[in-house]
Amino acid sequence: MKDLFSLRDRVALITGGSRGIGRMIASGFLAYGARLYITARKEAPLRRAAAELAAEGECTAIPADVSTLAGIERLAAEIRERESRLDILVNNAGAAWLAPFADFPEAGWDKVVALNLKTPFFLTQALLPLLRASARPERPAKVIHVASIDGISVNPMETYPYGASKAGLIQLTRRMALRLAGDNIVVSAIAPGPFPSDMNREARDHGEAVAAQVPLGRVGRAEDMAGAAVYLASRAGDYVVGSVVTVDGGVTHARG
């Protein structure tokens, strides 16, 4: 039981790991002993984040654009060159787009759906040999999708493909979990609520106003997200298959 949440000797990759929820998860993984790779499209902020995280543990930056199949394959090839196995994959990179219904552009729809729904599938597919190399019955490999409460309940903001893609990701989690369980790869998801980030600027810039709508009375903290991710990634979460852990202070229930 003392090692239930340990990630020692585990190799992890987090997409979108340089900021926001990905950065919160990265800190948690390092605190519990993982050897970590983070990836993002913008190289300078990514390398800066990796250098800062290296003070907490072993963290390596690999710049990559995972919104395209070519970018996914380049990232997978880079990981294959460096590692013989991958214990934990966190599909966190995501996008949102806000526009009125009558004017919502196809470009915004395609960008959001591709990154939020298509990328987690094809990146997991590309890394499947490394995940299988790690997986065994007594210590399965882990794939964790970062969904959203907007895929569970309706956000009144006009972010149409965001909620739709996150709902799709939750269903994809269930389907992938059933397929990969036989390979000793456990797939699960996290559905965050209001956490301060560049994507959720309301929670970042107007925290008190957002907190007033949260039953628990506050926005999410880094340790809230890190705790959920460490739970799913570690031995503690080995029997959580295809499920979604909602981390939102009660917002989903308050929406009704």
The tens digit of pLDDT for each residue in 5-55 reads 999 999 999 999 999 999 999 999 999 999 999 999 999 999 999 999 999
Q: Work out the average pLDDT over 164-170.
A: 98
Strands (E), 111-250: 141-146, 185-192, 244-247
Average pLDDT over residues 88-110: 97
Q: Supply the pLDDT for residue 246.
A: 97
Residue 201 confidence (pLDDT) = 66
Q: With bands split at pLDDT 50, 70 and 90, how would you rate the model's confidence at 203? A: low
Q: Given this model, what pLDDT does residue 224 score?
A: 97
For residues 45 and 22, the answer to whether their CB atoms sit within 8 Å is no
Scored b (16 or more CB within 10 A) or e, 206-239 reads eeeebbeebeeeebbebebbbbbbbbbbbbebbe
Position 206 confidence tier, pLDDT thresholds 50, 70, 90: low
Rounded mean pLDDT of 107-129? 98
Please name each of the domains of the chain with its CATH number. 11-250 (3.40.50.720)
From the candidates 32, 37, 162, 231, give the one annotated as an active-site residue. Answer: 162
Is 231 tagged catalytic?
A: no
Q: What is the distance of C-alpha 132 from the center of its chain?
A: 20
Distance CA 109, CA 91 (A): 19
Instruction: Please report how the helices 160-180 and 119-126 are oriented relative to each other, as an axis angle in degrees rounded to 10.
Output: 30
Q: Rounded to whole angstroms, how far apart are CA atoms 115 and 121?
A: 10
